[in-house]
Amino acid sequence: MKCSVPVETKPGVPVCDDCKVDPRTNAQQRERRRTLRTYGLTLDDFDRMLSEQGGRCAICSTDEPGTRGWCVDHDHDSGAVRALLCQPCNIGIGLLAHDPERLIAAAGYLRRTAT
């Protein structure tokens, strides 16, 4: 059933039971739109990227994106979008300054110290 109350009555405020939305879902949708705008992506671009990655993180292959959803990984110098990552992988490479040599050194360290 379509709402009969004009939208302009109270912008941004639910006006009837049919129009009410979960504020968390609404916030997640706003955050996703903001993220896509930041990186110049459309929703179709995002969905295509995720589909091309098999619905998985480009680093660890998990299908669990994390609490904030998939992260858009990008080159910090050029701004070019690289892939979609889960939150832990995105945080990990960020903490290692997106430096391939540092990431390789970290992997070597973990291999050397494995028990």
CATH number of the domain that residue 30 is part of = 3.40.1800.10
- How many other C-beta atoms lie within 10 A of the C-beta of residue 76? 10
Question: In this structure, what token pair is assigned to residue 64?
Answer: 């669990």
Tell me if 36 is assigned to some domain.
Answer: yes
Tell me if 26 is assigned to some domain.
Answer: yes
Number of domains in the chain: 1
- Block means of pLDDT (10 residues each) for the chain, 115 residues, are 49 56 65 87 92 97 93 92 97 95 97 94
| Structural domain boundaries enclosing 35 | 21-112
Q: What is the pLDDT of residue 23?
A: 56
CA distances from 62 to 27, 75, 86, 87, 100 (A): 24, 22, 7, 10, 21
Q: Determine the Cα–Cα distance for residues 23 and 21; give it in Å rounded to an integer.
A: 6
Q: What is the pLDDT of residue 17?
A: 59
Tell me if 28 is assigned to some domain.
Answer: yes
Tell me if 2 is assigned to some domain.
Answer: no
